[in-house]
Structure 1
Amino acid sequence: ALTRSCHNLEKMDLEDCLQITDATLGHIAANCHNLNALSLSHCELITDEGIHQVGSSVCAAEHLQVLELDNCPLITDAALEHLMACQSLQRIEIYDCQLITRAGIRRLRSHLPDILVHAYFAPVTPPPS
């Protein structure tokens, strides 16, 4: 409902909103055409499909500059591939996205050479002391 009445919204911070799903991202992609910053950090239910919906939207192609996906455990390299057409994307944050690889980041950078990628991959289990 919110996305239908906020067509001119430029920034959306949904960090730590645990009920955000791929369906939610579909509504955002369909209705929020002017988003330039979207924070989805710690939205643990979103998957590559949700990022595909965002990445293929009008907003992503023309406006989206910042996407924060820190600690989204279901996001993989496929999500990064869905963002390769987002020519306005300047920064992506993927701290603790354990299923994203360095190879996936390299592929994204080959399509978007000026993008800033903020990534840190903590080990799933701590190293022995």
Structure 2
Amino acid sequence: MKINANGREIRILGFGTDDDEYISLTDIAKYKSDDPTAVIANWMRNRDTVEFLGLWKSFHSPDFKPLEFEGFRSQAGLNAFTISPKKWIGSVNTIGITSKSGRYGGTYAHSDIAFEFASWISPEFYYTSII
């Protein structure tokens, strides 16, 4: 499925046991840059983002790894801190974000997370497209 947001197509996939909607962060990031991977990585290295992702995960998954999360939280926002969706997924045993390669590839996130990302990209984009 796709939605049209500010003239841009954004892919939506169903994942999980509840068939939750996962929205393409890659498509949202293209609103800001031709390099969506860099945009997503910059968002993920932000301390507020790491805090949000950790809080979201703590409410939605019993498999969350709090010790690994603390490592990310202590480094978030530092100049040398880098993170990618795949590194986050592998390290904290997360749900909520997934990366797919191939034809319909990209980084997808649960709608709660995708809306937070859209707001970070541009409050105007979030308000006029997502709400």
Tell whether the structures are fold-level matches, with TM greater than 0.5: no
Which has the larger share of helix? 2
Higher RCO (CA < 8 A, seq sep 6+): 2
Which has the larger share of strand? 2
